[in-house]
Amino acid sequence: MTATHALGLDIGGSSVKAALVRGDAVLATAIRPIDQARQPGAVVGTLAAVADEMRGSWGQVDTIGVALPGLYDADTGVPTLLPNFPAVWHGYPFRSAAEEALGQQVTLANDAKAFSVAESLLGAGRGHRAVACFVLGTGVGGGVIIDGKLWRGAGYAGEFGHLSVDLDGPRCGCGNHGCVESYASAAAICAAAGQASVDKVFEASRAGDPAALAAIGQAVRALAAGMANVFVAIAPDRIVIGGGVATAGDELFGPLRDAVRERVLVADPDLLQVVPASLGRFAGAIGAALSASSGSGLADQS
Ligand SMILES: [Zn+2]
């Protein structure tokens, strides 16, 4: 990591989050709402406004990384799959539009990968050689960081939402059957429990609601099976869990740790560390900043 000012911008469904990073210090954060129409031109305008605010307060920004909630073509900087954004984004020359509006080069990153880099280098995985991150949100994303760098393998490593955990399970959005995401995404948990939000599901489970208890139980079983497979396959020093669903805290982590230990019998149970993320809601922005400023392995690959 260098001692330059690295700005990270994380585009979410309702806001842009920003983090200004120097070395391993987060100097400033900001959050700005985006219009619910989520049109690309307006979002790019918000990115430029946040960058201008940071420059106004902190002077020159040396590098800028932008995290996108989906996939993009690394060569062209054009989004190819942003599930929660209007179709007009697909084919929109996002990176070049952002570079024009921001007045300097922009490095793109996937948001789950950016989260994984941030948590591994500066958060709950700090100091560990091999860290696997699960991001539990609308979908289930993730990333693997080895020796401080994102491990891509042939390009798609860490898509933990699509680990198969039920051979004949329901069809997943990816086309496979019985993926982790089919049970543990926020949408799957809410649908199974008949509730509008994950918070409401946990609220109902505390009141003893059988559907909520069953939905959480299924999510925990699926996640534990997926994590057990990751522990067996790559033996990470720890698994870090973040995202909206993970804010449930011990209600989730207690049963999850127990279920992982029940499934991994080839390792000392003390080696099976499943821990919550520690950087909070700006992890994606911090990771986007790191992606542009350091050799995190993130730079401009989807
Ligand atoms: Zn899938």
Q: If you search the block for the tokens 């390792």, which residue do you land on?
A: 267
Distance 158 CA to ligand 1 centre (A): 13
Q: How far apart are CA 237 and CA 132, in angstroms?
A: 8
Q: How far apart are CA 260 and CA 265, in angstroms?
A: 9
- pLDDT tens for 177-210 read 999 999 999 999 999 999 999 999 999 999 999 9
Distance 286 CA to ligand 1 centre (A): 28
CATH architecture of residue range(s) 5-113+282-293: 2-Layer Sandwich (3.30)
235 residue type, one letter: A
Give, for all 302 residues of the chain, the pLDDT tens digit: 446 999 999 999 899 999 999 998 999 999 999 999 999 999 999 999 999 999 999 999 999 999 999 999 999 999 998 988 999 999 999 999 999 999 999 999 999 999 999 999 999 999 999 999 999 988 899 999 999 999 999 888 999 999 999 999 999 988 999 999 999 999 999 999 999 999 999 999 999 999 999 999 999 999 999 999 999 999 999 999 999 888 888 889 999 999 999 999 999 999 999 999 999 999 999 999 998 886 565 554 44
Q: If you search the block for the tokens 């921001």, which residue do you land on?
A: 102
Distance 154 CA to ligand 1 centre (A): 18
Give the single-character DSSP code of 125: T
Distance 182 CA to ligand 1 centre (A): 7
Q: Tell me the domain boundaries of the chain.
A: 5-113+282-293, 127-278
Token code pair at residue 92: 């929109």
Distance 173 CA to ligand 1 centre (A): 6
- The CATH number of domain 127-278, selected from 1.10.132.20, 3.40.50.1970, 3.40.50.1580, 3.30.420.40: 3.30.420.40
Distance 207 CA to ligand 1 centre (A): 32
129 residue type, one letter: R
Of 287, 262, 265, give the one whose Cα is nearest residue 110.
Answer: 287
Q: In angstroms, what CA-CA distances link 190 with 181, 187, 218?
A: 12, 5, 12
- Residues within 5 A (CB) of ion ligand 1: 162, 172, 174, 176, 179
Instruction: Give 60-74 as a 3 state SS string.
Output: CCCEEEEEECCEEEC
The reply to whether 5-113+282-293 and 127-278 are identical in fold is yes
Task: Tell me what pLDDT residue 1 has.
Answer: 46
